Chain A
Amino acid sequence: MKYRIIIILLFLIMITVAHADHNSYLYDQANQQYQQENYQEATKQYEEIIANGFESWEVYYNLGNSYYKLGEIGKAILNYERAKRLASDNEDVKANLELANLKITDKIVEPPSFFLFTIVDGVKRVFGLNTLTWIVVILYLVLMLIIILRILLRNGKFSIFTRIVMPVALVLFLVSAAVLGLKIYDHTHIHYGIVLAEEVIIRSSPEMSSTELFTLHEGVKVQLQKENSGWFQIRLKDGKVGWMKQDAVEII
């Protein structure tokens, strides 16, 4: 019984390692194609890694670059956004996303928001989801370590030290945990999409016969609010709301 479990575990590890090897191979191949300006081939191989069920911000970033070079600005933005989701503090991703956004047709002006929201949004944007999770975990571990040491040690000097450090660690932990909570909520409840169709008409309700409200073009980022039989209710940064066919947009 024990041996069987070990064999199964080893097998699983081998599969994972093999996958990782194959992905690294594809990644290197794709990078070579990119360097030789065969962007079409490069996109195929990057996409294959993702099709295998694996991701990394570098793959999304490089794929975005390849699509940018091919002039497919919608797909380029989509992949930069995906890279940003995994590494929101990466400067290369930010720079390329900004440049790609200059090439889209629609210029959506974001109305100024309440300063507190801006601060919270800023804080949320400082770290990626995983980075923030690690920060929270580390603060938690530090806090718990202090508590444990306090229980175990009856040293007067240590007690004074913890009396200063503990509240700081506690506040940091609570703030970061709250932000993490918001971030996880955003992650699971708020979805964004990038318009991939060259031009798409936004309607007042999820029917082809309904009133045309406005048109959007390739590369625009929209918030997806509701879903209804092949239609998304979308919301723009400036507050415009309407319905759009699902096939014109891809979720980040």
Chain B
Amino acid sequence: MDMDARCQNAAAAQTPDELLVQRCKRGCQQSFAELYQRHAGRLMPMLWRLGGGRLALAEDWLQDSFLLAWRKLDQLNEPARFGAWLKRLSINLALSDRRRVALVTDALVLEAQTMPEPPWPAADLDLERAVAALPRRARAVLVLFCLEGLSHAEIAAAMGIDPGTSKAQLHRARQILKESLS
């Protein structure tokens, strides 16, 4: 079976991630497209929230995450855990990209004033906007702990802070949200 045929088979909905990753390692971009279709939608809300509701920033992070994943696929020891690996990759990328965040902050002050709009049908727009308006570190901790299920130890390692600081930032974020949503 040639590469094209294998790529077409890989696009089948039931193909496990493990198989798709192995095909990607051999250069099959169609398999990578399938991985993108499966996982990009799970990363996007997280990145949008981490970026304070800045769509362009979230899309940049999403693109960089997949580009990095494509380049680092050979370092993935457990292909079946591609989703978790990719998520960790994108979190590290977003959290370490303080410079780009700073660059776009000024330009996006206007966007913030007009209230961010998530690129999906928002069930609770007030809460989405309140999360987006949180201070950067408090927002990151809240998103990663409450919405993405990371532990304080994991968040602390990813953000370069103490676990105690992570807990304090979470408390702060929750207090601000409770006040702003009242």
Q: Do A and B come from one complex?
A: no
Q: Residues on A close to B: CB < 8 A? A: none
